[in-house]
Structure 1
Amino acid sequence: MNSTTMDMDIGMGIGLTILPILSLLLFLIPFVLVIWYMFKSINLQKERNKILRDISDKLN
């Protein structure tokens, strides 16, 4: 076995190690983005309701 073949074996081993981590990230990133978007939209709705409530109070 020469050094070129050994280098390719090591490279493939690293690639096979990174593959599960990459697939896990591809699953988790959309999940995290959906959760973040939900919290962000809820906070915006709360802020909008507060502003509308203040306007309504001033009109009364």
Structure 2
Amino acid sequence: MTTIYIQNLKIMQSAAGGDVDRALSSIRARADHLRHTVARLEHNLAWNPASTWSKRTIFLYRHS
């Protein structure tokens, strides 16, 4: 499974607790969505590597 790292995340210290909670919730939801997308891409590549994805797409995916 591919691990997705969220880098350079900065939350302002002066933000209200609710804003921080909403921001973290949004980040977690996006990370979940990206994990699901990567899993789907891995599944599709495993079943049909040549005809579904261009060589450039496969290269970019594998080297990201």
Q: TM-score, normalised by structure 1?
A: 0.52
Cα deviation code 1:8-40 (max 9, x no counterpart): xxxxxxxxxxxxxxx221111111111111111
Number of residues of Structure 1 aligned to a counterpart in Structure 2: 35
Q: Which has the higher helix share?
A: 1
The gaps in structure 2 that reach 5 residues or longer are 1-15, 50-64
Structure 1's consecutive aligned runs of 4 or more residues displaced over 4 angstroms after TM superposition are none
CA RMSD of aligned residues (A): 1.6
1:38 partnered with 2:34 = no
Larger relative contact order, structure 1 or 2 (CA cutoff 8 Å, min sep 6): 2
CA distance, structure 1, for counterparts of residue 21 and residue 36 of structure 2: 23
| 1:24 partner amino acid | G
